[in-house]
Structure 1
Amino acid sequence: MLSWVDGQPAELLSVKDRGVAYGDGLFETIAVNAGQPVLLERHLARLAEGCARLKIHVDLSIVRTQLLAFSQQLGDGVAKLILTRGDGQRGYAPPQPAQPRLMLQAGDKPAYPPVYAEQGVRLFPCVTRLAEQPLLAGLKHLNRLEQVLARSEWQDAEHAEGLMLDTSGRVIEGVYSNLILISQGALVTADLSRCGVAGVMRAELLAHAASSGIACQVRDISQTELLAADELLLCNSVYGVWPVRALLTHNWPVGPLTRKLQAVARALLDC
């Protein structure tokens, strides 16, 4: 498997790395087509926001250069970028000065069943809740234990994704996707200022909709409103858009606006 650590081919990592010890870092999962990372600017902007909020001081021009070189070697697939604060001693206090570590790992594009995109997916209602922490909300930080627990709740092939709520019962996202409702011709997606991950495909679809004159709302969503939506879809930066067809006994049609957004995502991922 192709993997780099700080710009050099490597598969080993120091046991002192704070990403391993404390989840002290960030990551991006990036589709790569013909040697080019897809949605590069949005991925780097989210990474920059995470570095600023976690106070990880890194030269992002170096990150860009290494990612582009790595993607050229990968060709087609998925690049996972992991940025940690680097090595540290025992204890939570960050080392001064820190020496951040950049890891890049290559993977194949997931072979999801075509039926997910064509006919839609069934959501599993996860019991695991997302804790509210505004300091980390929106970031793709390395602590994903809530998602690990949520994903362990189902093993059947009937469910492709899980629905995650916060501890107050608000609808937030999927386990590895963002959720968008379509109600009366408007896109509605969750406010991620308390928890959740601000996905790059979510951002791209909202921007496209707004530029096309489609109303977009980012706000709290109740479970009642979720069930009353006209259409429901999931999105992420690797598979694009999946319509949601069912949650427990409730069903949604695969509607025309979902299909339009799906075409937008497909064009981005196939470029």
Structure 2
Amino acid sequence: MLPPALSDEQTVPFDDRGLAYGDGLFETVLLRAGKPVLWRYHTDRLAKGCQCLNIPLPFQATLDATWQGDCTAELEVLKLILTRGSGGRGYAQPDEVTPRLLSRRTPFQPSIQRWQQGVTVRLCNLRLSRQPRLAGIKHLNRLENVLARQEWSDTAIAEGLLADSEGRVIEATSMNIFWLQAGQVFTPFVDQCGVAGTLRAGLIDQGVVALGALSLDCLAEVERLWVANSVQGVWPVTTLLAADGSLLQRWAVSESDPFQRLAHQLLGFV
């Protein structure tokens, strides 16, 4: 049986493989009145990640225990970190794997202003490397995202957009990307790199979003652009900047945004 989740006050041993190698996974879950939103999508993605990395998946009851109990606010964020645990010599895993599950809950308030007024985003110089075996899952090695986020410090810029080594737009540093073209909302394939977000998965399952490819050269030509995730909701993009700060495109914020409304219904924001 896997050990129960550690609280954030407990220390992680020096030989924990998540700390040493990024050998693990994480999930960031919106809690509403103490209940997880899109929980099935989060646990499904965690299960896929465990299968990919060959880490035993915690029992469902163990995962559920991380959000059960008294809630501290109407909205909270639950962060789960699952590592392979301790041990092993070098990169070789130990003969007996004992995964370590950590969890933390914190109060949360979304940025309603960004929902309503939209945001400015920029292109990042960093290019995502392609590794199909890790594509889609939320593994602990996020160094590409960390480096990309270091590219700007202007608080007026809400997000940075990342393309892969082939010049295809994949995601933002911590959000998925969506665009409108010819009456259809699309989101990029993440079969080579990138994270398959849970809000993205829910919208695909509902038939609201289709999968598509978008090159950097065509990005400024889309009719509408959004960045979104299962915690922050949907931010309409109003201004797109190049990596050097030059203006590439502007879009007006629509008083009626059906895509945002449908996505926020899934999150309980409307």
Task: Give the TM-score taking structure 1 as reference length.
Answer: 0.89
Q: Are the aligned partners of 1:25 and 1:82 in contact in 2 as well (CA < 8 Å)?
A: yes
RMSD: 1.9
Q: Match for residue 206 of structure 1?
A: 204
State the identity %: 41
CA drift of 1:139 comes to 0.6
State the distance in 2 between where 1:110 and 1:84 align: 28
Give the gaps of 5 or more residues in structure 2.
Answer: 242-246
CA drift of 1:185 comes to 0.7
Q: Are the aligned partners of 2:5 and 2:100 in contact in 1 as well (CA < 8 Å)?
A: no
State the distance in 2 between where 1:103 and 1:74 align: 19
2:96 counterpart SS class: coil
Q: Does 2:227 correspond to 1:234?
A: yes
Q: Match for residue 155 of structure 1?
A: 153
| Greater helix proportion | 1
- Greater mean alpha carbon deviation, residues 130-139 or residues 217-226: 217-226
Give the gaps of 5 or more residues in structure 1.
Answer: none
Counterpart amino acid of residue 199 in structure 2: M
CA drift of 1:150 comes to 0.7
CA drift of 1:110 comes to 4.8
State the distance in 2 between where 1:206 and 1:6 align: 33
CA drift of 1:190 comes to 0.8
Runs in 1 of length 4+ with deviation above 6 angstroms?
A: none
Q: Are the aligned partners of 2:6 and 2:103 in contact in 1 as well (CA < 8 Å)?
A: no
Q: Match for residue 268 of structure 1?
A: 266
Count of aligned pairs = 259
1:188 counterpart SS class: strand
Q: Match for residue 221 of structure 1?
A: 214
1:48 counterpart SS class: helix
CA drift of 1:87 comes to 0.5
| CA shift digits 1:149-177 (9 cap, x unpaired) | 11111111110000101111110110000
State the distance in 2 between where 1:199 and 1:137 align: 11
Counterpart amino acid of residue 221 in structure 1: L
Q: Match for residue 98 of structure 1?
A: 97
Q: Are the aligned partners of 2:78 and 2:105 in contact in 1 as well (CA < 8 Å)?
A: yes
Counterpart amino acid of residue 86 in structure 1: G
Inter-CA distance 160–52: structure 2 relative to 1 (3 Å threshold): same
Inter-CA distance 52–186: structure 2 relative to 1 (3 Å threshold): same
| CA shift digits 1:111-164 (9 cap, x unpaired) | 53x331112111121111111000100010000111111111111111000010
| CA shift digits 1:48-104 (9 cap, x unpaired) | 00001111012332333322326x445531010000000013400111210001100
State the distance in 2 between where 1:157 and 1:87 align: 39
